[in-house]
Amino acid sequence: MKVRDRLLLSYGAVLLVAVLGLILGLAGVLGISVVNERAVRANLQSLQAASSMRAIIGKQQTILLEKLADDDPTRVTDFMELGVHFRDMLKLAREQANSTNETTLLNELGGRYDDLMISIVGDVEGVVVGDAGPDQVKAFERLREQALTLYEMNMSEIETASANALFRFRIIAGLMALTALATFIIGVLVSRRLALALSEPLEHLSHAATQVAGGEFDTRVTLGDIDELNTLAKQFNTMTQALQQFHALNIGSILREQKRNEAVLNSIDEGLIIGNGNGRIEQLNPVAALQLGCSMNAAIGSSITALLPASQLAEQIQAVLDPTQEEAQAGELSIGEGDGARTLSYSLSRVMAGELMGWVLVLRDITNQRVFERLRTEFVLRASHELRTPLTGMRMAIELLQKQAPFDPTSRPAELLATLHEEMQRMQKLVTDLLDLSRLYAKSLELDLAPVELGDLLSSACQRFAANAEAQNVQLHCDIEAAPVTHKLDRVRFERMLDNLISNALRHTPAGGEIRLDLRTRHDQLQISVSDTGDGIPLHVQQRVFEPFFQVGANQGGSGLGLAMCKEIVEQHHGSIRLRSTPGQGARFIIELPR
């Protein structure tokens, strides 16, 4: 990055922090103003209703005290109209009530008013207003007092809302002050970092020049982030490399070094193939020639496709030679047929020496290891069939003992029984997983295929793990193409496969990391991927992650069967699953289904 761009980005970021702080502060002030205005408006309406009800009660009390109900029918009408107006005001106050106490007071006021009207007003052959007895007078006074209490309550709420608004204003003012302080500190740190970014490379270059002057021609200057200084560093490294080559030009030493390298290569007990940037084989050891069933002279200069026409190594070699893609690949190969069939694991790496030099392929014969693993898996699966029935009986016995044993739920025996029950359930789940895996291996587990919208499938998986991801402070994203994609799947099995992949990603992703589910369509296939930003998987074990009981890393919380079941489920859908991982940079499981 150029110095000009770095300055623009750095101080632009400082300015952005300041602007965001100002915007957030203004937004907070506006929000508080709106909330306070709404609260005051609602309470003002309640105040008006309370005042109106108090006035109505006074007028009705006056009409009743004048004892004009029997002599003047118009006063009776006025009395009843005031009652209707009182109930309208009561309804308005209830609609604006914003607390339980206010609602309770309004309900009590309405009930007492109705009781008073019933004691005064009758409806036999017309409306008759009775005399104002002492009880009615006291009842009117109580109603007036309750209306006054309602009025005072709303006044108090208005004062409280104003006080809260003032408190929030002070908080926002404090936050804006903190934002200003943070902007100042960030500006100082950015300035310091820019100064170091400019001064340190120059100091290293000066020190390297001193070393070259002293005869240390292998000195190199590391590249940084500033383009202008990188150009100077590259020119310096080119100069020192030329000086080193000129100083070290010794044909005899070169020949001796070459013979020594050949001796080391031939002594390695694993197959080793070295290729150039064009994908051609430059060198291989006798073990590799024996593993591939070819002569060393015939292999040198040919492509890997000529030796292994049915493998995907040629495509992976091109990927390794592409600097924009992963620098290492791993997998397995099957060579030969019948009794002579062998299984080889391989790791493919890019060779860099300042620039792209070629690739290195390491081959390891794992035929016997695969036979042993197959026998071990068959034994465990058969044992699982035999363990299922006794485990079910034991679980039922433990549950019966929990129900009938006279233990206090907080006692130690009750806790031991609960622990035993949990462990028995875990054992039963493990046995069930083993049986499901055995059925998948035997192709005896029938799939319930039906059209499934894949975008909905991935969205549902994200929703199931959203709470767990939030609890671990891990971001869970689902990136789905806009157009709906439908495919015939066994939804239950496929959801189980996605759950296994996401739970594995959560187990290996630290706090602050990210997990992403992607759905992409190609002309001949659908691609679903689950990727994380965890520790990644070491290259030498990547080809074993789909084996039963195989686990990687320290976070081994599962049974080791999840990825094996994922592989079998995908393959029964006529698809494939593969792993792409760089240690320290996370892992990505890619599922490909034919369209």
Q: Which of 365, 396, 424 is the last residue of a domain?
A: 365
Local confidence band at 330 (pLDDT 50, 70, 90 cut-offs): confident
Neighbours of 552 (CB within 10 A): 20
Q: What is the structure's pLDDT at 2? A: 62
The answer to whether residues 36 and 121 belong to one domain is yes
Task: Examine the domain organization and report whether 178 and 289 are in the same domain.
Answer: no
pLDDT confidence band for 533 (50 / 70 / 90): very high
Residue 226: inside a domain, yes or no?
no
Tokens for 91?
Answer: 């309804």
Q: For the residues 90-119, what does the mean pLDDT come to? A: 79
- Does 191 map to a domain? no
The last residue of a domain, from among 160, 183, 206: 183
Judged against a pLDDT cut of 80, whether residue 508 lies above it is answered with yes
* Cross-strand pairs, 479: 518
SS3 5: helix
Comparing 180-189, 202-211, 260-269, the range with the smallest average pLDDT is 260-269
pLDDT digits (tens, 9 = 90+) for 157-170: 777 777 777 777 78
Average pLDDT, the chain: 77
Q: Let me know whether 307 and 397 are in one domain.
A: no
Rounded CA-CA distance 345/204 in Å is 44
pLDDT at 124 exceeding the cut of 60 = no
Residue 225 domain-assigned (yes or no)? no
333-346 pLDDT tens trace: 777 777 677 888 78
What's 291's domain CATH number?
Answer: 3.30.450.20
Average pLDDT over residues 32-47: 67
CA-to-CA separations, 454 to 83, 462, 489, in angstroms, rounded: 64, 12, 9
* Within a domain: 196: no
What's 525's domain CATH number?
A: 3.30.565.10
Are residue 37 and residue 51 in the same domain, yes or no?
yes
Answer yes or no: are the C-beta atoms of 253 and 270 closer than 8 Å: no
Is 148 within a domain? yes
| pLDDT mean over 112-138 | 62
Q: Are residues 377 and 506 in the same domain?
A: no
Assess whether 374 and 515 both reside in one domain.
no
Quote the pTM value: 0.42
Which of the listed residues 129, 159, 183 is the one where a domain comes to its end?
183
Confidence of residue 397 (pLDDT cuts 50, 70, 90): confident
Does residue 201 lie within any of the structural domains? no
| Residue 417 and residue 470 in one domain | no
40 and 67 inside one domain = yes
Same domain assignment for residues 352 and 466? no
- Per DSSP, the residues of 387-437 read HHHHHHHHHHHHHHHHHHS---TTSHHHHHHHHHHHHHHHHHHHHHHHHHH
Domain that holds residue 347: 252-365
Q: Do 378 and 421 fall within a single domain? A: yes
Write the CATH number for 140: 1.20.120
Residues 351 and 395 grouped into a single domain? no
377, pLDDT greater than 80 = no
Residue 332 lies in a domain: yes
* C-alpha span between 188 and 466 (Å, rounded): 39
- Domain annotation covers residue 241: no
Q: How far apart are CA 187 and CA 192, in angstroms?
A: 9
Q: What is the CA radius of gyration of the chain?
A: 41
In this prediction, residue 143 carries a pLDDT of 80
Q: What is the pLDDT of residue 465?
A: 93
Task: Label residue 67 by pLDDT band (50, 70, 90).
Answer: low
Structural domain total, the chain: 4
Beta bridge partners of 352: 356
Q: CATH code at 418?
A: 1.10.287.130
The residue whose two tokens read 């630290």 is: 510
Looking at the structure, do residues 79 and 176 belong to the same domain, yes or no?
yes
Average pLDDT over residues 270-275: 83
- What is the average pLDDT across 212-226? 75
